[in-house]
Structure 1
Amino acid sequence: MRIRQSLWLKIGLLAAIFVAYALRTTTLTLQSMWVDEVMALHFTEGSFAETVRTIIQPTHNGPLFYLLLFWWRQVVGDSDFAARFLSTFFGVLTLPLLFQWARKLLADRTAALSLWLFAFSPFTLWFAQEAKMYALHMLLAVASSLLLLEAFRKGGWYRWLLYASLVSTFLYSHLFGGLLVITQAAMALLLGWRRWKRLAAYVATMLSILLVHAPLVQIILRAVQRYQPRDIWRGFVPLGVIARDALGQYFYRLPVPDISWPAFLLAAGLILAGGLFLLLHRRADPVVVLLHAFMPVLIFYAISFRVPVYTAKYLSAVVPALFVLSAWGAEALARLWRPAGVLILALGMLMVNGVVRDLTDPLVQRGDWRYVADYIDAHEGENDVVVVSAYYNTRLLERYYRGESKVRGFAGDPYDPWPFYEQQAEQYDHLWLVLHQDQAMAPGNRLQEVAGIAFPVITGQFPNGGQITLIGYQMRYVYPALPPGVHSLDLCFGNGLCLVGYRFDATELTATERLSHPPSNWIHAVLYWRREPQIDPTPFRPLVRVVDDAFNVWGGNMDRRPDLFDRFPPDRWPVDGVVETHFDLNLNPAMLPGVYRLEISLAVEGDEGRRMEVVDPSPGQPGDRFLFEQIRITDG
């Protein structure tokens, strides 16, 4: 019976590791990188000496990861998959170490449950797919606590030497690694009870570490003393909010406003039950899990009165211990009342739901810079400029952008951006303004406001719920002839306005879209016009519609006023020029798959019941509108 249980335990362990690896690698490049990842690559793109000079600055968390990333890139390159795989490797390697730690302290079943919780935590998955130090930080947290336990139980100079090496690397994995090292001192007192010789070995080991790392300790103390808040959004966070936010992030990757009380109480209840049953345990050693889970948080809370920099990932070293407590709490409750075992199943289901959400819902994913880059590439003209609100974000865009436009960071006063925009208008035809973290850097800035006053809007794209905002502006209206690649046309209306060309970004698409402006998909239309020498000045509004065979409207141009027709009325157009106009056509998400037509008309004074007549309409065409390009709606 015991052999069969051991076999199933090994199968479960291997299955969890395999599934965790497969889940992390198959979705590794599902999301584009975000700014911290690209900056990590930037810090390590120079020579080894340049990289070291950069990463040893006190402002950088986790110099160890950057050092490893430097050498990793030399071997495998710096594609998204390659750069992130380093963290994936660390995340998967944590699983067997966590299993061993929990198994040696508690029981096989607790260890297996802990492993599965870690494998399917949306938090650990997120950071196993990010080219940052947090997966490494969690790995070293488990490894150092495991080795500390082994050193106290079995002794041996090589174990203490290995522990000293792990602690040294752990201190450089993140600035707050020292919190767990301090906690391990309390763990050592517990483990060293009646093991005085090994406690003395621990003290000797730590004294040697302290001597070696005295400069680091001085840097940390100096950083705390001289700390000045740089991020205006950071502030002191009460302990209760830290507890709720941390559990919400570690178990479900949800912030405080989004985590429900039942979900929070389920995780918190299992942790508290695990802690209580640990205190009642017949052996003292397992209580180190309790210290590992809570003491770093309490130390951080005390420090945060002086240095208020809380974010859940900074305390990620406690995550493995929290999962062990949850597993032990569920197992202990199930011993008292077997149906209570369903609690761990409920917790696991909620965590898996968080994983599915993170992999499928754009609103909670990283900002999609690939989409922004591809959109600009597909819609840019021959002489455009891309302006990114923060200079450091230009590296993000340039990582994915393959177009020809000039990309530059905004280099002016964000509260008076017109002088900068004026310079761009003198050189370029279109301005693509990319906003990301602009309000965090310059609250109340007028980048979008002033651009909207000065220029007609081409389009607005808001991927991932507006994490990134892309606004296109038209700075040049008139061209001497149709640009290359435009479909020519010769359609005149009774007021003397003629449509001479057009292009669309899609003629086959789904009716719905989830990334940039859900639930509706859009078609971007660019129409080119000329005017006759004599023109009727009666006001009108252009109507670009998607219609079916019965002329039912299933999509139409968004009304962005003031547009080009307001700013530059046709009676002011040059007779020998071609005027460019842009329209976003918003589709009805309830459209059925099939073939539709695009319709263009001019509504007199904006009244759709009164439309300008078409000059020489084609046979079978209505007299007050023109049907052209077919649009095919496919299954979404």
Structure 2
Amino acid sequence: MLNSIPEPLRLWLRRVQWQPVLVLACTLLVFGKTTFDLDAKTLWWDESLSLQRSEQGWSDLLLGKLVLKDGVSERITWDQHPFAFYVLLGILIRLAGDSVLVLRIMSVCAATLLVPAVWGFGGFLERTGLAPDRTRLWAVALVALNPLVLWYGQEARPYTMWMLLSLLSLWTLSEWIATWQWQHRRFSHGKRWAVAWLLVTLATLATHFYALLLVPVQAILIFVGLLRIDRKLAVEALAFMGVLTTAIAVAVFQMITGQPGAGSNYAPIGLHRVLWEAVHGFGMGISVPAGWTVPLDSILLAAAVTGAWTLSGTEYNRSRHGWLLPAVLAAPILLLFVASLIQPNYMAVRHHAQLLGPYLLMAAAGLAAWQRRMPLAALAVAVLVVVGTGFSSWRYFREPIYGKAPDYALVGSILEDGIRDGDIVLFKGPNSWRLFRRFFPMDEIDGARDAGASIHWRAVPPVMVPGMGWATPVGDRLRDIVGGYDRVWLVEDRTLPYEDPEHQVLTWMRAEMHTQGEWGFYHPNSSLALFLFLSETPSPVAVLPDDGVIVDADFNGELRLRHVQVEPRLWAGGQVPLTLYWEYLQVPDRPWRFIVWLEEHTTDGRWLKLPHSEQHGTFSLDPARVGLVELAYSHVEAPPKLAEDSSFRLQVLLYDPETLDKAPVTEAGPWDTKPEEPALMIPISIPEAERSG
């Protein structure tokens, strides 16, 4: 085949360094994957803590002091992570704002830099004869395809930064110690690597406290390396690192467990489960159920075991510290498991994230060894890995369950669209206050209230902690808050449900009020629910309001639209509240629903349907409703700014949700109809917003 290629091109292909091209391609692949739809997944609770800590004053940021607020009270807690990630994020948000893209871009950069990092470390392993040729090629490919890199590369948490720094710490230490053996014990040749290792290791320890679990392995590596040069120095170095690490670990343990209730929500986990979760997470990733990919995870595990033997199976390799990566992989998991027998702690796959790089390097060494002996088998494994990781990444982007949290923005938009004068919003879930502030219209409600609207938001007062009970009965607290309002919204975040395990707040509201609507958003990390209650049970309307539009139009001889009331928007850009008054002429013969939308008259004489203005409502099939007039709440979207000559008309249509049949307008009165719909067209005026800003 090469003979068919023109000679100049063939010579150029031979001169091209394809390995750097592959590294660049894999680097761009990771960057492309982690930036794709970067802001599509909503922030979740852990990420809100990153934002809250990073936007605090520098002293509180460095100390990890977090003030959790619920609008009524405050509670001080201490973050369980060091400060490095948050310092960088704090600088970034002060320069570029706190958009989702800004919050997550540091994780994207760290994930992207993992590719050149494993390339460099893999090159060291090849250069020293510890790993077969092409190990680093396999390593960069595995990192580029790895679903866990994608998962945490799109999260505003320190895990990918921790992965990167841990790998760099191991690499720089290995390079430094290698100079002791090959430069005639002249330390001056390794000073640059020594400084690099010290700086990177300090940065790693300042990123995640679990980085301490790598220090014992590094201390042993330094000890073994120094034994050949100076036994006394080796013992002193080992003792110094051991004492320092123990002191830091004790201080961290006391800080974390010293908080009220710390560790009480964690149960001991078996070692076999920890190991398998790590194997699955490092393999096909947590965006695929573990039971689906056992064969593929097992194949990658077998490659890692082969790589461990390749690196450390001979005396020559052991003398050159080929045991480092296997030890790094085993020691932190075992140390953490032993610690969990004393105090249950965090042991999910993200808490072993610093081991991903070593695991993939070992798997890469194993695959390179297979390629040398069984090329076709290695090729088959490569195809399976590409398919498996590709499927996992596809599920990450496509399946809602991997959205990390309920869609706070969606719930916030439902509330913002539906809220009207006379409403109060209750927020329940003090630990999610930063998310409430970000996604819900709390500032807009405050502004409308200042402008004279009868609208408010309040926090549900501190709810019981298990074993402590209530200061006063829940009903007395809530009754004082919601009194005087027509409708009550309840936003309930159940990320930490132990604050109201018996759902006393919701139970009281269901018993004392009329439920108008419910929206539930479940996610394995948490769940979010939105409820709308009427303070009084709805009763038939005896007298129609004086303001608004008298309609008196019949649909299918069963339902009559008597009146439409248009209310001012609470703020510019908000929805226009509508109240529709329906009379039941006879029992509907099917479950009709109504739909309303707004059209604006354009300068060229056309009527243009405004986007996002469709809203739906339902009717009852209860025969007792015949002859009664009931109201229905709705809303439509109008332009933020209204011109003096703006002209609008409201269209109303009834349809069957099962068959999509449309109810005819049997009596239109003075109003026009659109026969092809068929829809009733009612000219209306849009009042100015109560608050212009």
Cα gap change, 1:335 to 1:232, in 2 (>3 Å): same
1:15 aligns with 2:31: no
How far did 1:221 drift? Answer: 4.4
Counterpart secondary structure, 2:591: strand
Matched with 2:8 is: none
Matched to 1:279, the amino acid is: S
Counterpart secondary structure, 1:308: coil
**Preserved contact between residue 527 and residue 580 of structure 1 (Cα < 8 Å):** yes
1:171 aligns with 2:219: no
Matched with 1:501 is: 564
2: CA distance, partners of 1:450 / 1:569: 28
**Preserved contact between residue 148 and residue 282 of structure 2 (Cα < 8 Å):** yes
Matched to 1:378, the amino acid is: D
How far did 1:239 drift? Answer: 0.8
**Preserved contact between residue 274 and residue 329 of structure 1 (Cα < 8 Å):** yes
Cα gap change, 1:597 to 1:213, in 2 (>3 Å): same
1: CA distance, partners of 2:111 / 2:436: 28
Matched to 1:308, the amino acid is: P
Matched with 1:81 is: 101
1:432 aligns with 2:489: yes
2: CA distance, partners of 1:315 / 1:121: 15
Matched with 2:147 is: 122
2: CA distance, partners of 1:75 / 1:375: 31
Name the TM-score, length of structure 1 as normaliser: 0.75
1:456 aligns with 2:515: yes
**Preserved contact between residue 123 and residue 250 of structure 1 (Cα < 8 Å):** yes
Matched to 1:468, the amino acid is: L
Find the partner of 2:286 among 237, 253, 262: 253
How far did 1:498 drift? Answer: 5.2
Matched with 1:586 is: none
Question: What do the CA deviations read for 1:36-75 (whole angstroms, capped 9, x no partner)?
Answer: 2122221232322232343597642232222222223233
Matched to 1:472, the amino acid is: L
Q: Which one is further off, 74-83 or 453-462? A: 453-462
Matched to 1:166, the amino acid is: V
How far did 1:207 drift? Answer: 6.0
2: CA distance, partners of 1:456 / 1:381: 17
**Preserved contact between residue 32 and residue 366 of structure 1 (Cα < 8 Å):** yes
1: CA distance, partners of 2:330 / 2:60: 38
Cα gap change, 1:117 to 1:384, in 2 (>3 Å): farther
Identical aligned pairs, as a percentage?
Answer: 17
**Preserved contact between residue 34 and residue 153 of structure 2 (Cα < 8 Å):** yes
Q: Which one is further off, 82-91 or 163-172? A: 163-172
Matching of residues 94-133 of structure 1 within 5 Å: 94-105=114-125, 106-107=131-132, 109-133=134-158
Matching of residues 25-64 of structure 1 within 5 Å: 25-55=35-65, 59-64=79-84
Question: What do the CA deviations read for 1:238-270 (whole angstroms, capped 9, x no partner)?
Answer: 011111112222331147665443233233222
**Preserved contact between residue 436 and residue 469 of structure 1 (Cα < 8 Å):** yes
Matched with 2:592 is: 544
Matched with 1:472 is: 532
Matched to 1:328, the amino acid is: A
How far did 1:153 drift? Answer: 0.6
How far did 1:163 drift? Answer: 2.1
1:71 aligns with 2:107: no
Counterpart secondary structure, 1:305: helix
Matching of residues 29-428 of structure 1 within 5 Å: 29-55=39-65, 59-105=79-125, 106-107=131-132, 109-155=134-180, 156-189=190-223, 192=225, 195-197=228-230, 216-223=248-255, 230=262, 233-251=265-283, 252-254=285-287, 258-281=291-314, 282-284=316-318, 285-309=321-345, 310-341=347-378, 342-367=380-405, 368-402=407-441, 404-405=444-445, 406-413=456-463, 417-428=474-485
RMSD: 4.5
Cα gap change, 1:81 to 1:572, in 2 (>3 Å): same
**Preserved contact between residue 653 and residue 680 of structure 2 (Cα < 8 Å):** yes
2: CA distance, partners of 1:99 / 1:151: 17
Counterpart secondary structure, 1:468: strand
**Preserved contact between residue 558 and residue 588 of structure 2 (Cα < 8 Å):** no
1:490 aligns with 2:515: no
2: CA distance, partners of 1:330 / 1:182: 29
Matched with 1:513 is: none
Matched to 1:164, the amino acid is: L
Cα gap change, 1:277 to 1:233, in 2 (>3 Å): same
Matched with 1:518 is: none
Matched to 1:264, the amino acid is: D
Aligned residues: 563
**Preserved contact between residue 388 and residue 435 of structure 1 (Cα < 8 Å):** yes
How far did 1:395 drift? Answer: 1.5
How far did 1:179 drift? Answer: 0.6
**Preserved contact between residue 327 and residue 344 of structure 1 (Cα < 8 Å):** no
Rg larger for: 2
1: CA distance, partners of 2:279 / 2:501: 30
How far did 1:558 drift? Answer: 7.4
How far did 1:137 drift? Answer: 1.0
**Preserved contact between residue 220 and residue 238 of structure 2 (Cα < 8 Å):** no
How far did 1:316 drift? Answer: 0.8
Name the TM-score, length of structure 2 as normaliser: 0.70
Cα gap change, 1:200 to 1:112, in 2 (>3 Å): farther
2: CA distance, partners of 1:468 / 1:91: 30
**Preserved contact between residue 387 and residue 431 of structure 1 (Cα < 8 Å):** yes
1:580 aligns with 2:614: no
